[in-house]
Structure 1
Amino acid sequence: MDPIVIVGGDAAGMSAASKFKRERPERDVVVFEKGEYVSYAACGMPYYVKGDVESLDDLLTVSPEEFVEERGVDLRLHHEVVDVDPEAREVTVEGPDGRFTQPYDQVLIATGAHAVVPPFEGMDLEGVFTMHSLPEAEAVRDYLTAEAPEAVAVVGGGYVGIEMAEAFAAHEVEVHLFEMLPHVLAPFGETVAEAVEDHLREQGIHLHLDTAVERFVGDTRVTGVDVGDEVSDVDLALVGVGVAPNTELAEAAGVELGETGAIATDAYGRTSRAKVFAAGDCAEARHVVTGDPDHVPLALTANRAGRAIGQTMAGEETPVGDIAGTAVVKAFDLTAARTGVIDEDRAREAGFDPVSVTITAASRAHYYPGAEELTITLLGDRDSERVLGAAMVGREGVAKRIDTVAVALHEGATAHDLSYYDLAYAPPYSPVWDSVLTAAKVLDGKLG
């Protein structure tokens, strides 16, 4: 029988390969990866640039040698799949020794996503970077070390922008953050965004909100950022305005894309073409609140879907699971988190009648030293009284609490249900009535 073929060797691809080999050790799995790294922690790259992570090797979850020698995966680095033919059930590969075809029994497209490169003049200047791979992270850190810039521009106020602002600040350089929207972290809501912005300013970050970058200035090396009426002098620029799914290979194979622009899949990761699966940052998943396809490129989503597809390919159909878009971001001493639907307009578009509440509570018992303020926005549906989503910001305890709401979303819990969750209590960790329970009580009262 022809082998299982996997295109892409990061989270989704290697999770699928590993799971399939555990279930069917007698079968062959071939993974084609065009780069030199597999199974690496891309989310750790800002902390490598900052210096919290010493070596790029520390970001490798499983080495290529382990996949080959211990897991029995036929892993081929520096091999790029340039065509998938669902009719012939074969892929065309370009490798160090030339072009060849590889037949397959089933194929998983796990081509990931790429950093969006805006059409700015000067993107090709020395000192202008994007960061969506380990070599790019290494290049940024090397440039910091070799060139010792005095001022850095970060373009984009999302996850990468916030984390990289902190990373650059650790090198004692002046940091300018440019965001074309009125607030950073737009998907987290205005309350969270404003708290983060205030904290960034306290840390010395120069915020340029509602400000669109027009071009980078310089002859061969970047020397400034032009926003139309002002030029800020910088010696390095990091562009982090989002990612887009890598769908070209799938499109050429006749695989249908969804409304989000990512690859459309069913509950098991199957695409519109027989024996062709897709997972990870290139693929859609179903949102647990709206029930609609969504594209939220996060690490757990990719790992979980890959593992499920590996099991399905091995003969036991396993759903890839719904997503809630649960995310958490460190911004210096603050933590911001979100899950589900927190934008009221989006909730209305999905057919809900949204009601929201915002509370501020203590992270610990009031008498226990070190208590910090924690702000929570909770959104619910007036008709069903179901919890739709939450956003939180504070100095401690945020990551734990957002997960509580994520569980409620997956259960379809009402605000009343959530207010009765039996959560852990001890003075160093929370008040008797945890802030999530308090927010749920307030929302329940407003819905009733």
Structure 2
Amino acid sequence: MSDTFVVVGGDAAGMSAASKAKRDDPDLEVVVFEKGEWVSYGACGLPYYVKGEIQSLEALVSVTPEEFREERDIDLRTGHEVVSIDPDERTVTAEAVSDGDSESVVQPYDRLLIATGAEAVVPPIGGVDLEGVYTLGSMSDGKELREYVARARDGESFQQPDRGPACRFLEDCAGPVAVVGGGYIGIEMAEALAANEYEVNLFQRSGRVLTGFSEATSEAVADHLREREVALHLDAEVEELTNDGDGAVEAVVTADDRVPVEMVLLGTGVRPRTALAEDAGIELGETGAIATDAYRETSAPDVYAAGDCAEATHVVTGEPTYASLALTANRHGRAVGQTVAGRPTEGGGVAGTAAVKAFDVEAARTGIVDEEEARAAGFDPVTETIEANSRAGYYPEGGTVTVTLAADRDSGRLLGASLVSEFGEGAVHRSHAVVAALTEGATVFDLEDYDLAYAPPFNTTWDPVLVAAKVLSGTLR
């Protein structure tokens, strides 16, 4: 009888693991439980679906449930929520919901992957349950937001089932609106709503947007958001969302202001879904996500965790970190699939590399650029920021790239980078050279000698990353 590999969660980590395990060991029985109807979808594309650049939710799906079942021979059970794990008995219990009736299923496993992902953080303030208050953590959330935008754009009379009278007609849902949170989702949704002619107010409790990036990057993005008429409310922690008397949101209240709005998008981050693991006695790490070893195995034998519910190891500090990122989930899921198929594979570390687009600006960050964070990790950070041309000065097109590099004063070890440029001028792609340097533990002196490509349509002889490395090297010497 073949072994059984059970996966809890049908998105990036879960389906990467299931597919790789089945491909490497066709005799392995692979069972996947997913409580929703969607699997293997690109949640990062949801803001662009809401904006209207992507026309259907189905376009965000990489592989359909039918393809997993029929072409990959995976026993995928959508509409099944796993409610408990018993590591001693090596079973999971799932509840299948159909037409209002539920049925419990007890599934034995030889090896198990927990890939329960992350959920949107809802701040502990009044009014978050009002009509017109949204999060963007799932395909169904994206569908609701797209319907909201479509009602205002098309002017069609619309009554959404079970959501009351809010925004029934065009004049009721044309704006202004609010986005709470100045991170990735907040910035992307501000663009999506402003592009649909909403008056957008973005609230950020700290003094700048994109706090994981350098100040230079944050300021460049903030300036561009203002140019595109997004009203930024910085140092403005939201205290309450007020009720219009009919159950719909009518205003965002901070310590210093009250801003009337007709819709609120909460983009205040995500947290790992760990309740299932906790209830099974599986250890969590210091970040609050599920702790694992290098092979993604948890404290329970033959139980693995990967993706947005699990910790990873930071390549700069060597310590556990939490990185809710698509590539990390796919990479670690694939590694688990290889491991359970008989070829033990480490998931690899992460640098926290991320990118964001804000209208006509792109930004990227990797490693550690915040000096306080670097000091807490035991480094003595030195940072330099430069601005350089993105292409040869005589080339008829081009812009500038602003690069912030951080390195350790004593060792010269590269710690991180933050880059920003006009959209299409290469801030994001240029960050990849820094990621390679971080992963290899290179110094800024090593980076200065990297043989990066040059041609006038693409960059200058000295790429902006090399210019930043030269400047930082000079400071350290």
Same fold (TM over 0.5): yes
In structure 1, how many angstroms separate the alpha carbons of the residues matched to 2:185 and 2:199? 17
Give the match for residue 328 of structure 1.
355
Unaligned 5+ segments in structure 1 are none
CA contact (8 A) 2:236 2:255 kept: no
Residue deviations 1:225-282 (CA, integer Å, cap 9, x gap): 1113422111111001000100000011111100000000110000011010000000
Equivalent position amino acid for 1:202 in 2: E
Tell me how far 1:445 sits from its aligned partner.
1.5
Which residue, 290, 295, 317 being the options, matches 1:268?
A: 295
CA distance, structure 2, for counterparts of residue 9 and residue 415 of structure 1: 41
Indicate the residue corresponding to 1:354 in structure 2.
381
Aligned to 2:430: 401
Match of 1:58 in 2: 59
Matches within 5 A, 1:199-238: 199-218=224-243, 219=245, 220-238=247-265
1:128 aligns with 2:133: yes
* Contact 2:112–2:304 (Cα < 8 Å) also in 1: yes
- Counterparts of 1:434 and 1:175 in 2: how far apart (Å)? 36
TM-score (norm 1): 0.99
Partner of residue 144 from structure 2, selected from 139, 150, 153: 139
Bigger Cα displacement from structure 2, 146-155 vs 203-212: 146-155
Q: Of 312, 334, 337, which aligns to 1:307?
A: 334
Aligned mates of 2:256, 2:206 — CA distance in 1: 17
Counterpart for residue 87 of structure 1: 88
Contact 2:5/2:109 (8 A) holds in 1: yes
SS in 1 for 2:238: coil
Distance 1:354 1:229 in 2: 36
Aligned residues of 1:149 and 1:236 also touching (Cα < 8 A) = no
Per-residue Cα deviation, 1:191-224 (whole angstroms, up to 9, x for no partner):
1111111110000000000001111122211121
CA contact (8 A) 1:7 1:109 kept: yes
Q: 2:206 aligns with which of 178, 181, 188?
A: 181
Q: Secondary structure at the match of 2:337?
A: helix
Which residue of the partner structure matches residue 154 of structure 2? none
The equivalent of 1:11 in structure 2 is 12
CA deviation string 1:96-120 (max 9, x = no partner):
3511211000000000010001122
Q: Distance in 2 between matches of 1:367 and 1:205?
A: 34
Report the CA distance between 1:2 and its aligned residue.
Answer: 4.2
Whole-Å separation in 2 of the counterparts to 1:189 and 1:363: 19
What letter corresponds to residue 327 of structure 2 in structure 1?
Answer: L
- The Cα shift of 1:420 comes to 1.1
CA contact (8 A) 1:129 1:140 kept: yes
Written as runs of structure 1 = structure 2, the 5 A alignment for 1:92-103 is 92-96=93-97, 97-103=102-108
Q: Aligned AA for 1:56?
A: L
SS of the residue 1:375 aligns to: strand
Secondary structure at the counterpart of residue 236 of structure 2: coil
Task: Show structure 1 runs of 4+ deviating over 4 A.
Answer: none
One of 107, 115, 122 as aligned partner of 1:117: 122
Write out aligned runs for 1:191-206 (5 A): 191-206=216-231
For residue 353 of structure 1, report the CA deviation from its aligned partner.
1.4
- 413, 416, 419: which one aligns with 2:442: 413
2:46 corresponds to: 45
Q: Which consecutive unaligned segments of at least 5 residues does structure 2 have?
A: 152-166, 168-172
Q: 1:385 aligns with which of 397, 412, 436?
A: 412
**Closer, same or farther in 2 for the Cα pair 1:384/1:229, shift >3 Å?**
closer
CA distance in 2, matches of 1:377, 1:280: 29
- Please give the alpha-carbon distance, in whole angstroms, between the structure 1 residues aligned to 2:35 and 2:149: 27
Q: Percent identity, aligned pairs only?
A: 59
Deviation at 1:321, TM superposition (A): 0.5
User: Does residue 154 of structure 2 align to residue 149 of structure 1?
Assistant: no
Cα distance in 2 between the residues matched to 1:292 and 1:344: 17
Quote the Cα distance in structure 2 between the aligned partners of 1:430 and 1:376: 14
Report the counterpart of residue 162 of structure 1 in structure 2.
Answer: 187
Rounded Cα–Cα distance in structure 2 between residues aligned with 1:144 and 1:228: 29
What is the CA deviation profile of residues 157-198 of structure 1, one whole-angstrom value per residue up to 9, with x for unaligned ones? 000000000000111010000000111000002111111111
CA distance in 2, matches of 1:166, 1:229: 25
SS in 2 for 1:188: coil
Report the number of matched residues: 448
Matched residue type, 1:430: N
* TM-score normalised by the chain length of structure 2: 0.93
Alpha-carbon distance between aligned partners in 1 of 2:395 and 2:431, rounded to the nearest angstrom: 22
CA distance, structure 1, for counterparts of residue 329 and residue 96 of structure 2: 26
Aligned to 1:443: 472
Q: Give yes or no for the alignment of 1:289 onto 2:290.
A: no
Which amino acid in structure 1 is aligned with residue 237 of structure 2? A
